[in-house]
Amino acid sequence: MREVKSVVVTGASGMIGTATTRLLAGKGCAILAVDLVAPSSAPQGVTTFIADAADPKQVEAIAARAGQLFGSVDALVHVAGGAGPICAPDLETTELSTWEHVMALNVTSTFLLCHALVPAMRRQGFGRVVTLSSILARGEKGPPTTVTARLPYAAAKAALIGFSAQLAKDCAADGITVNTVAPGLILGEPGTRIRDRFDALPQGDRSRMLGAIPSGRPGTAEEVAATVAFLLSGEAGYINGATIAVDGAAS
């Protein structure tokens, strides 16, 4: 049973990216941790790389650096994405520039990274790809909460599910699995981006969001990371094209 030894993790400085990097490094994986900003610290076995995963030239640089470090890349964990900085609560307030930016952050970046890294996985006959969607791929009821540009974000996260399902079918015969993790409400410590947005909401909205989670609590980045790590493992070799919600039964 072949095990993952080398991993490219994007969005590595965020909550989920940091937890994933730490967990995989602790399992002995060599990691290229990619983000727009360098992390404050990196575990042993982790090489940091500053790059924009939505920029074609910079993705080429990511692939080149991974090749220098590892020779071949066993896995891609694409955490980078998001709803962008512009608050656009509905269709009327969503400008084309916002739509295109959110699509680039989530969908275009996924295509570019897979286009750069998956062919080498095909050649070696082994690979793992995990993309990060969201339970908001099915939409969110009620007034906007912690998501800035909700409509393009939902569309982009739904597109990732379709992209990953098709790529899984295209690559399965080459020993590659492609799966998607769809987190629900994941709150970090005070000072993190989503936590600050959540804390800034009126008490009623916070209570409504928490009340919609049957498990009665938000999730943790470590719980998402554990799901990612399982999908990279040899035990998950027959799970392919799946979307796994990590959401406390909220979806």
Taking alpha carbons only, the member of 185, 128, 133, 130 closest to residue 159 is: 133
Please indicate whether residue 153 is annotated as part of the active site.
yes
d(CA 202, CA 35): 31
Residues 6+ apart with CB under 8 A from 96: none
Taking alpha carbons only, the member of 124, 233, 237 closest to residue 174 is: 124
Helix axis angle for 150-171 and 96-103, nearest 10°, is 30
Among residues 153, 177, 219, 225, the one annotated as catalytic is: 153
d(CA 15, CA 25): 16
**DSSP helix/strand/coil, 159:** helix
Cα maximum dimension of the chain? 53
Question: What residues are labeled active site?
Answer: 153
